[in-house]
Structure 1
């Protein structure tokens, strides 16, 4: 299919082609005090409040009261309107920017509105797109789970018996989810240096094994009453607002000591970074692929009618040292998941847990299975639990992150001119506070 053409100049390698139209929250040079919704397109953003105020949605009469919807400091109100509305707004904006738009008078031929609402991206700042009430992180990347299980047990027992029967997850901390670009403070916590000591003698120390986790995040746009599950299939699919990139920063040494018997706690609650622009499922529809083969007959509440319920998103991770040397340390597809987000939603709510608009779900670390490596979603895997040094530019090495290191995650689908991308998910490590 030929790329959609726009009257607006869009670089061919832009993540935000006319095929995308992701939603986010901005403030800007011309209005620095007010957070409001926008879409990203090429090197610009369309301020949806300014666009609404100038009757920009007059060609979409099905959208009621757009000015109220797009005057909010988060996307929650818009998300709650449901996928039909999300898709109609996206399609309408695609038409507004199309070279052959049916409404040229609204923006293409309206220089004053372009000046007011079509802003250079570099003159804007992004913020968390949603008000996040709850955050749950899953463990759906089977290759990662196998690699880590092999390190701490053995390959024959790498996966726990429940792993292929249900999406394993834990409840994270919504208050420490931050937008891309936010600096991440190295956490303090209890660490057991001598694992042979009896009784054990942990110390309180800054994390020494600070890691990344390359993940996809999913924001919800639907709620369910307490006690009533969201069913697999169309209902679970319709509960998805859109997707972001995610880095679930992890303190591996703190995690090793604390996670028995209830799982991660302080090792995971000090920071989770998400990218700024929410990519709708409709933008990713053409990139659906089959998820990993399970081999286990899952229970009815997890059986999907279609196997192509994950996406072939090309993900990559760069590590930049404090000296400015950048090394690409991972390239992997988002398809390497055993469980899809609809399955995560269905299982999360099967006991009657009420999900809410703005809830965030994480996929868990996504790693490939190539023998050459270079497709691993965590340093823990790349350094084999600290046994191997990772070579990076500047004649330097890493096992885990040092203070001043910057991690950049990117993700994109499609070819130049029609790229559907997420932008960047970036974080830089700051030194721990002395306690």
Structure 2
């Protein structure tokens, strides 16, 4: 498959004349993610992150420095057309960008097209038509299920089918946009009837997002062997949850208002090509687990369908920031803790003929771990509110309070390869309105 082709753009020894890119945690020259940004006083345009700068693709196109068939897409105010191009063309654009940012002789020509990232506003990469949240983090499913069904935490279908639900795309926002504490109907344990009030159990969920590139026609499933060709890139995702609202409303049809008030994503689209060196084998299923049905089974996906990505969640409270204390790390763990691969998610989503469209976003669901240091939500860390967390400021938390800020980060790494990252997925909690 095309995303397996490693070339000079992945060379760990390759450096850029953009000095800040060399050794950058997230955006060395080996990454080159796409995003939508606005320089001060200007309209949104497509850019590429390189170190602490953003390269203006429209300026490159106007200078005739991108392939002719991609020039118009590079001048757009959305990533939709670039997401929809064939992986081979996306790889070709990547090689052009890498060469321009590597060759010292092009510095004088290209440097005026760079913008200081901190001086720019970042936007959603494209209009998100549909958003589907999966539930492929088996340890999260076990950890949560154990709180309600200690002897049988997983429901019977979990190991047979990638569970998911259709979320709300209109309330997805890029990193940095605050979250207003939602109100909802909830039933406190001591109450005889529900109340309508601000959630008292606001939680984060550690997820990855999967951007759909080329879609499929209605009625035409996507074979598992072709699923990777439909993925345009990856981001980080925080699917905020009002646990008390969720507990009251989720039966019989699942989450609704407890989830659709806000979701946060990191704004940079990390391409499959950038992640090619970090593909790893999907962990073997435990002995006795059922094997996937044929439409979800593929040898290449088993061998390379998982990602060598390490995820982290950080919390800072208002008191911590006032005292000058750094954020406190709540958890860290690998993305390989997913029971189903992203290719299986795509294939299953389209298996009934559902038409995926360019710019659709899929969430993995909460990626957690079997041990506390890797738990992907406060619902797990606090054991449903029974065990408060102690913070460096002397404060405790069971769920998020107003003024709290959650930051999700991630890095992809492999022996002998340059580490790349995803940028931040960050938001602060504001009081209910």
Same fold at TM > 0.5? yes
Q: Does structure 2 conserve the Cα–Cα contact (< 8 Å) formed by 1:194 and 1:201?
A: no
Report how many aligned residue pairs link the two structures. 411
Q: Does structure 2 conserve the Cα–Cα contact (< 8 Å) formed by 1:17 and 1:417?
A: no
Which of 116, 121, 125 aligns to 1:120? It is 116
Residue 35 of structure 2: SS of its match in structure 1?
A: strand
Mapped partners of 1:410, 1:65: distance in 2:
31
TM-score, normalising length: structure 1: 0.91
Matched, 1:290 2:285: no
Matched, 1:82 2:86: yes
Q: Which residue of 2 aligns with 1:384?
A: 383
Which of 187, 211, 216 aligns to 1:219? It is 211
Which of 228, 234, 244 aligns to 1:237? It is 228
Q: Which residue of 2 aligns with 1:53?
A: 62
Q: Which residue of 2 aligns with 1:304?
A: 298
Mapped partners of 1:216, 1:385: distance in 2:
23
Mapped partners of 1:417, 1:7: distance in 2:
19
Q: Does structure 1 conserve the Cα–Cα contact (< 8 Å) formed by 2:141 and 2:153?
A: yes
5 Å matches for 1:128-139?
A: 128-139=124-135
Once the 2 structures are TM-superposed, how far is the Cα of residue 224 of structure 1 from its aligned partner?
1.1
Residue 46 of structure 1: SS of its match in structure 2?
A: strand
Once the 2 structures are TM-superposed, how far is the Cα of residue 3 of structure 1 from its aligned partner?
2.7
Mapped partners of 1:398, 1:265: distance in 2:
25
Which of 11, 30, 40 aligns to 1:19? It is 30
Once the 2 structures are TM-superposed, how far is the Cα of residue 291 of structure 1 from its aligned partner?
2.4
Once the 2 structures are TM-superposed, how far is the Cα of residue 214 of structure 1 from its aligned partner?
0.3
Mapped partners of 2:13, 2:161: distance in 1:
39
Write out per-residue CA displacement over residues 166-197 of structure 1, whole angstroms, 9 at most, x where no aligned residue: 100000000001000000011100111136x6
Residue 356 of structure 1: SS of its match in structure 2?
A: coil
RMSD: 1.6
TM-score, normalising length: structure 2: 0.92
Q: Does structure 2 conserve the Cα–Cα contact (< 8 Å) formed by 1:293 and 1:338?
A: no
Matched, 1:171 2:148: no
**246-255 or 73-82, larger mean C-alpha shift:** 73-82
**421-430 or 288-297, larger mean C-alpha shift:** 288-297
Residue 423 of structure 2: SS of its match in structure 1?
A: strand
Matched, 1:8 2:14: no
Once the 2 structures are TM-superposed, how far is the Cα of residue 338 of structure 1 from its aligned partner?
0.5
Mapped partners of 1:124, 1:220: distance in 2:
26
Mapped partners of 2:410, 2:345: distance in 1:
21
Q: Does structure 2 conserve the Cα–Cα contact (< 8 Å) formed by 1:229 and 1:351?
A: yes
Which of 45, 59, 73 aligns to 1:36? It is 45
Once the 2 structures are TM-superposed, how far is the Cα of residue 417 of structure 1 from its aligned partner?
8.8
Gaps of 5+ in 1: none
Mapped partners of 1:17, 1:279: distance in 2:
12
Matched, 1:94 2:98: yes
Mapped partners of 2:244, 2:80: distance in 1:
36
Q: Does structure 2 conserve the Cα–Cα contact (< 8 Å) formed by 1:336 and 1:368?
A: yes
Q: Which residue of 1 aligns with 2:8?
A: none
Mapped partners of 1:54, 1:417: distance in 2:
32
Mapped partners of 1:223, 1:138: distance in 2:
18
Mapped partners of 2:70, 2:211: distance in 1:
23
Write out per-residue CA displacement over residues 389-422 of structure 1, whole angstroms, 9 at most, x where no aligned residue: 1111211110000000000000112379922110
Q: Does structure 2 conserve the Cα–Cα contact (< 8 Å) formed by 1:291 and 1:336?
A: no
Q: Which residue of 2 aligns with 1:418?
A: 418
Once the 2 structures are TM-superposed, how far is the Cα of residue 11 of structure 1 from its aligned partner?
4.4
Q: Does structure 2 conserve the Cα–Cα contact (< 8 Å) formed by 1:75 and 1:130?
A: yes
Once the 2 structures are TM-superposed, how far is the Cα of residue 2 of structure 1 from its aligned partner?
3.8
Q: Does structure 1 conserve the Cα–Cα contact (< 8 Å) formed by 2:12 and 2:417?
A: no
Which of 137, 142, 148 aligns to 2:144? It is 148
Matched, 1:72 2:76: yes
Residue 30 of structure 2: SS of its match in structure 1?
A: coil
Once the 2 structures are TM-superposed, how far is the Cα of residue 65 of structure 1 from its aligned partner?
5.0
Mapped partners of 1:421, 1:357: distance in 2:
24
Write out per-residue CA displacement over residues 194-242 of structure 1, whole angstroms, 9 at most, x where no aligned residue: 36x6xx5100010000000000000000111111111101x21100000
Once the 2 structures are TM-superposed, how far is the Cα of residue 128 of structure 1 from its aligned partner?
0.2
Q: Does structure 1 conserve the Cα–Cα contact (< 8 Å) formed by 2:174 and 2:264?
A: yes
